[in-house]
Amino acid sequence: MGGGVKLNLMKKFSFRLDRLLNYRKFLEKQAQKNLFNAKNEALKREKALEGLIQTRIETDKRCRDEGAKGMDVPWYRIYQSFLEKSDHDVETARSRLQKGEARVKAKVAILEKKSVRKKTIEVLKDKQYKKHLHQLGKEEQKAMDELAVMGRKRKP
C-alpha cells in the first residue's frame, strides 16, 4: 500500500482582482444611492412646482371672482403683485426642476459607467473561474489516468 499519486483535486480558486471588484461594487452602490437621491430631489422640485402652479391658478380665479363682484383698487394691486410674484416663483421652480433633471441624467451616466467597469471585472473573474475549472478537470483526468496505469501494473 505504498504512496503514489496524491489526489489534491480541489485547488481553491483565487481571483487576484477581488479587492478591485469589491471596490467597484462599492462605487456602483454609491452611484445608485446618488442617483436615488437625485431622483428624489427632482421629484420634490416637481411637486413644489405643481404646488406653485396650483396656488397661482387658485389665486387668479379668486382675483377674477372678486373682480366680478367689484374689487377695490388696493386689493386688485395686492392680487396682481401676488400673481407676479407667483409667476416669478413658478419660473424659478421650473429652472430648478430642469437643473434637477439634468443632475439625474448625469447621475444615470455615472451609474452606467460604474456598472460597466464593475461588469468588466466580473466577466474577467468568470473567465478565469472557467479556466480554473477546466484546469482542475485536466488535473483530475491526469490523476485518474495515473491511477489506472498503476492499477494495471499491479495486476499479474
Identity of residue 26: F
Identity of residue 101: E
Answer yes or no: is pLDDT of 1 > 60.
no
For 101-125, write each residue's pLDDT tens digit. 999 999 999 999 999 999 999 999 9
Mean pLDDT of all residues in 16-36: 95
pLDDT of residue 83: 93
What is the C-alpha R_g of the chain?
Answer: 35
For 62-87, write each residue's pLDDT tens digit. 988 888 888 888 888 998 999 999 99
Percent of the chain residues topping a pLDDT of 90: 65
Average pLDDT of the chain?
A: 89
Q: In the chain, where are the structural domains located? A: 18-146
Chain position carrying cell 379668486? 62
| Residues 54/43/93/107 CA torsion (nearest 10 deg) | -160
pLDDT of residue 72: 86
Domain at 18-146: CATH code? 1.10.287.1700
Q: What whole-number distance in Å separates Cα of residue 130 and Cα of residue 142?
A: 18
Angle at the Cα of 50 from the Cα atoms of 47 and 53, rounded to 5 degrees: 150
pLDDT of residue 27: 97
Asked whether the beta carbons of 102 and 12 are under 8 A apart, the reply is: no
Q: What whole-number distance in Å separates Cα of residue 106 and Cα of residue 42?
A: 13
pLDDT of residue 130: 94
